[in-house]
Amino acid sequence: MEAAIASTGSSFHSSPNPLARQQRIARAVVAFVPQPQAHALRCERTSHPNPRASAAAAAAMGGDAGSGSVVVVGRKKRLAVFVSGGGSNFRAIHEAALGGKVNADVVALVTDKPGCGGAEYARGNGIQVIVFPNSKSAPEGISSDELLNTLRELRVDFILLAGYLKLIPVELIQAYPRCILNIHPSLLPAFGGKGFYGLKVHKAVIASGARYSGPTVHFVDEHYDTGRTLAQRVVPVLANDTPEQLAARVLHEEHQVYVDAVTALCEDRIVWREDVCERDRGKGWCKWQPFLENPLGQKGPVVSSSILFFSYYIYVLSLGC
């Protein structure tokens, strides 16, 4: 797990992994602009063009970049949010979209529990509710193919997981590469994976003796909590914390960091670069890593680089080292 932040007007910065022994052999940096530009494409590797970014840039041609303010590239993005519970992160994102902070519209709520709080909130706000997957407890649920077709009909740009407990179908991940985000209530890679959700995460953090915890926003791949990290926030674990107290402290940060990440996603301020190539037993491979640019005028980095040390420290503790 690696994370780094590009501050406005600066070059990329990354903190070294304090545990892994790596040989740095190459670096291919993808350029980025200090703020969204009306006539610029999102930074992508030229051999793998992103049609969504191209469409957004094309829609923005002829716009006025303005002066002294952040320029939003392209049309409003269309979001589908997946939830299984109360959906407090879903509500935070929806409210940010209604308030104009997030340049997007939430057009669908996907859930495996049609009676959950998130689904009730969506119905109360005129957001289409889609039940997925089909199961004994939710016979009205649709199949993976039907879900994919429905999202395409709704012209969904990005998918956001906000407390959705089911594994995302491979077909959906392949149809939306680098367009699905999830938030997890620990500093991944520690306390992640199948079975780590809700209070179970916070109980494990406290039981490990970890001194820090916090939420992680990451891209989604075919497995639980293993996609590339985009952003993290750090909170202390206090001596007398209960799982409920720690959960409340982490949740407060979740609502902020997820909205910030989604805001950047919808403004094409997330860039990917081919990071350090690593060697293991003579065989090399390269990692693609996302970076989140600072919004113009925001003080300090979006995520402190110190999270790397804390995250790996907690990971070591979780292994009993």
Using DSSP bridges, classify how beta strands 128-131 and 180-184 pair: parallel, antiparallel or unpaired.
Answer: unpaired
Residues noted as catalytic: 184
Q: Which residues, 6 or more positions from 307, have their beta carbon under 8 angstroms from its beta carbon?
A: 3, 187, 214, 232, 233, 234
Question: What is the Cα–Cα distance from 44 to 50, expressed in whole angstroms?
Answer: 7
Beta-carbon-side half-sphere exposure of residue 245 (alpha carbons within 13 Å): 8
Question: What residue has token string 């293993």?
Answer: 226
By the 8 A CB rule, do 25 and 39 touch? no
Q: For the chain, what is the HEC assignment?
A: CCCEEECCCCCEEECCCCCCCCCCCCCECCCCCCCCCCCCCCCCCCCCCCHHHHHHHHHHCCCCCCCCCCCCCCCCEEEEEEECCCCHHHHHHHHHHHCCCCCEEEEEEEECCCCCHHHHHHHHCCCEEEECCCCCCCCCCCCHHHHHHHHHHCCCCEEEECCCCCCCCHHHHHHCCCCEEEEECCCCCCCCCCCCCCHHHHHHHHHHCCCEECCEEEECCCCCCCCCEEEECCEECCCCCCHHHHHHHHHHHHHHHHHHHHHHHHCCCEEEEEEEEEEECCEEEEEEEEEEECCCCCCCCCCCCCHHHHHHHHHHHHCCC
